């Protein structure tokens, strides 16, 4: 029980850190665009400032709960590390995407590098065969990537390329099974949220809708149900 509470507190602190890091990334991105002379169109947020503050509070509380379930589901310290890194990157992606409707490539790159490093650790210390690693990681990445590109085509751009890259990176990092479960829950949550906004005419069918938060929530539900 002490470990579960401890990891819960750790996740609570990491949630605050992820908010700070996300804002740093947003400021850095804005400066990069200004230096390049890019005048990017401002997005129109769905939520006002008060609603955002409420969402941030719920995000922090949800993170503490996820820390508890991470400690409960993980079989060893290495598994806790893997799940914690997955949590942190998805948390940052959710916040940045919610603010500016973009998922930074640096987060996708971190996933890919982390996937390689963790794969090497498993090969060296957990006796995972390199062929098995390549099949699990690269195979998962390409299978999900092809599926998502098909969805981009069918949805006529409704699913952004940033979302596609993030899903593919999750598949590379966690395997096809975990990625598909997260994908399923995130799409269900997005549909449940999107439809009321559509009916209330808060948004239009072709409007951009940040998927990062739903990917994070899908990961959270998958973890709480012990599916990843």
Contacts of 161 (CB under 8 A, 6+ apart): 152
Contacts of 171 (CB under 8 A, 6+ apart): 140, 141, 143, 144, 145, 178, 179, 180
In the chain, where the domains are located: 2-224
Distances (CA, A) of 139 to 68, 105, 183: 31, 21, 17
Query: Cα(165)–Cα(102) distance, rounded to whole angstroms?
Result: 11
Q: Residues 6-37, buried b or exposed e (16+ Cβ, 10 A)? A: ebbebbbebbeebbebbeebbeebeeeeeeee
Phi-psi region of 145 (alpha: psi -120 to 50; beta: other; left: phi over 0): alpha
Query: Cα(17)–Cα(194) distance, rounded to whole angstroms?
Result: 28
Contacts of 63 (CB under 8 A, 6+ apart): 11, 12, 14, 15, 87, 91
Residue ranges, the chain, pLDDT below 70: 37-48, 154-158, 204-208
Query: Cα(217)–Cα(186) distance, rounded to whole angstroms?
Result: 7
| pLDDT of res. 37 | 67
Q: How far is CA 209 from the centre of its chain?
A: 15
Residues in the chain: 228
- Choose among 77, 58, 75: nearest CA to 66: 58
Query: Cα(31)–Cα(35) distance, rounded to whole angstroms?
Result: 6
Reported as a single tens digit per residue, the pLDDT across 60-111 is 999 999 999 999 998 888 899 999 999 999 999 999 998 888 888 899 999 8
Cβ neighbour number for residue 197 with a 10 Å cutoff: 14
Contacts of 140 (CB under 8 A, 6+ apart): 171, 172, 175, 176, 179
């Amino acid at each position: 029980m002490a470990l579960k509470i401890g990891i819960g507190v750790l996740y609570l602190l990491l949630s605050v850190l992820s908010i700070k890091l996300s804002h740093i990334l947003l400021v850095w991105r804005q400066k990069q665009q200004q230096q390049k002379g890019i005048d990017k169109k401002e997005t129109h947020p769905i939520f006002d400032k008060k609603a955002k503050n409420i969402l941030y509070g719920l995000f922090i509380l949800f993170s503490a709960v996820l820390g508890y379930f991470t400690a409960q589901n993980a079989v060893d310290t290495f598994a806790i590390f893997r799940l914690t890194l997955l949590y942190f990157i998805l948390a940052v992606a959710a916040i940045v995407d919610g603010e500016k409707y973009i998922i930074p490539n640096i987060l996708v790159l971190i996933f890919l590098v982390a996937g390689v490093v963790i794969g090497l650790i498993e090969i060296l210390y957990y006796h995972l065969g390199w062929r098995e690693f390549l099949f699990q990681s690269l195979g998962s990445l390409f299978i999900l990537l092809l599926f998502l590109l098909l969805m981009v085509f069918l949805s006529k751009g409704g699913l952004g390329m940033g979302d596609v890259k993030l899903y593919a990176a999750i598949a590379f990092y966690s395997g096809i099974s975990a990625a598909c479960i997260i994908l399923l829950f995130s799409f269900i949550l997005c549909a449940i949220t999107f439809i009321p906004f559509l009916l209330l005419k808060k948004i239009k069918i072709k409007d951009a809708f940040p998927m990062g938060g739903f990917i994070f929530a899908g990961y959270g539900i998958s973890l709480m149900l012990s599916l990843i």
